[in-house]
Structure formats: structure tokens, C-alpha cells
């Protein structure tokens, strides 16, 4: 499988190095259990269960993960800072970036793209995200209406995230029985992961460019 990479011009790049050699079936068999500590901190696969489940108090926090919930609060505070002071507080911005880096590694593990256990926090891992931050005067219209601009993506990703969960289950059986991740399912899962992370970066106010409706 070719390395998954989201190409320019969008200012968010996600790289996942494809797993090579024999897969670790023991960790694959217990992946959902092994991944629980990370999921509690950075959420599970797909955007829908990060944003859509946030309607209930505890359910929303579990869906977001503790760090995701904190990043969302920071984004709300940043919204006011950008709209009224035209600045994005560095500490709040950096926490959003930290969350996205951790989430990228966690998703690659939870979705069976990689077998190495991801570090807690920053660290070397064969899955990464690069965000070219918005600089200079911010687009106040884009920032002000950000929640409304997100709606079409949330609706589509709600459906895609369900499909991703189904394909991940199929891939789990395929990896356990045959030791391979079907290429079509791999490409689909990587595509949804890229799409959802681009939208999360946009929702966290790290970039102003509207995300493409694309799995590429």
C-alpha cells in the first residue's frame, strides 16, 4: 500500500506510513481494549462521535475524549479572542495542535492502520499531522460563522463515520484470519480519517480555509 498523504493546497497534511511485514495479531485481537486509554483522552474513530454525541453531558465528554473536550472549550474562548481582539491566544492554539497530533496517532492505532502502541502525548510515531496555521488578519466572517459552515461536513461525516466503523470491523476479521488489511477498506478508512481531521482543524479555528469534501 502506498503511504497515505493529504496533498496541498489545503493547509492540513496527514501522513500515515503503511504497516509492512507481518501484522501483530495479538494486539489486533485486543485492539479495542488496548485503545481505551487513548480513546478516553482523544475520542474514537470518526468525527460524528466527537461532535454529534456532544448533546448529552457525559456522553459528549466520552465521545470527545477529555483532551478533545478541553480543546473544544479552548476553541470557544479563542473564537471570542479572534472576533473581538483579532488574536488567537498562543497557548489555546497550541493545545488544539497538541490534541490533533495525539488524535492522529491514536486514530491510526484504533483504526488498525498501525500496530505500534502510540505514545501518551507527543512522541515519534508513523502517523502525523501538519497544520499550516492561519497567520495575519483572520477572516472574521469565516470565524464568526464557523459553526454554521461546519454543518454540511458534520452531516456527511456522520454517515461516513458509521461506514468507517463497519469497514474497520471487517478489516479486524480480515487481519485476524488472513493477516491483511483489504486495500479498498484501508484507502476508505484513511480517507475518512483525513477528512475528519481537516474538519477538526477547521473547527478548532487553526485554519480559515474551508475544508474540501474529499477523501483524498
Q: Note the pLDDT tens digit of each residue in 94-109.
A: 999 999 999 999 999 9
Distances (CA, A) of 147 to 105, 138, 152, 165, 178: 26, 16, 10, 25, 43
Q: How many domains does the chain have?
A: 1
66-85 and 57-64 helices, crossing angle to 10°: 90
Q: Quote the pLDDT of residue 44.
A: 83
Q: Quote the pLDDT of residue 4.
A: 55
211 located within any domain: no
213 located within any domain: no
Average pLDDT (75-82) is 96
Q: Quote the pLDDT of residue 54.
A: 42
129 located within any domain: yes
Q: What do you get for the CA distance between the two ends of the chain, in Å?
A: 15
103 located within any domain: yes
197 three-state secondary structure: helix
Instruction: List the grid coordinates of 170.
Output: 471487517
Distances (CA, A) of 51 to 41, 105, 132: 15, 19, 23
Alpha carbon of residue 126 to chain centroid: 15
Q: Which domain holds residue 189?
A: 4-203
pLDDT digits (tens, 9 = 90+) for 27-74: 999 999 999 999 999 998 765 444 444 444 444 444 678 999 999 999
Distances (CA, A) of 157 to 15, 93, 143, 215: 20, 24, 21, 11
Amino acid at each position: 500500500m502506498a503511504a497515505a498523504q493529504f496533498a496541498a493546497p489545503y493547509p492540513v497534511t496527514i501522513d500515515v506510513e503503511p504497516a509492512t511485514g507481518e501484522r501483530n495479531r495479538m494486539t489486533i485481537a485486543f485492539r479495542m481494549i488496548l485503545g481505551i486509554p487513548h480513546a478516553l483522552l482523544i475520542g474514537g474513530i470518526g468525527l460524528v462521535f466527537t461532535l454529534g454525541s456532544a448533546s448529552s453531558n457525559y456522553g459528549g465528554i466520552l465521545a470527545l475524549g477529555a483532551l478533545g473536550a478541553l480543546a473544544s472549550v479552548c476553541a470557544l474562548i479563542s473564537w471570542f479572542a479572534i472576533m473581538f481582539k483579532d488574536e488567537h491566544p498562543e497557548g489555546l492554539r497550541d493545545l488544539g495542535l497538541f490534541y490533533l497530533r495525539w488524535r492522529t496517532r491514536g486514530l491510526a492505532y484504533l483504526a488498525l492502520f498501525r500496530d505500534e502502541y502510540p505514545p501518551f502525548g507527543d512522541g515519534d510515531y508513523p502517523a502525523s499531522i501538519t497544520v499550516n496555521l492561519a497567520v495575519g488578519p483572520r477572516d472574521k466572517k469565516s470565524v464568526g460563522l464557523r459553526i454554521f459552515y461546519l454543518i454540511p461536513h458534520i452531516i456527511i461525516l456522520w454517515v461516513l463515520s458509521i461506514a468507517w466503523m463497519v469497514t474497520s470491523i471487517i478489516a479486524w476479521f480480515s487481519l485476524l484470519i488472513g493477516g491483511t488489511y483489504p486495500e479498498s477498506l484501508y484507502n476508505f478508512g484513511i480517507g475518512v480519517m483525513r477528512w475528519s481531521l481537516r474538519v477538526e482543524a477547521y473547527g478548532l479555528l487553526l485554519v480559515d480555509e474551508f475544508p474540501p469534501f474529499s477523501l483524498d
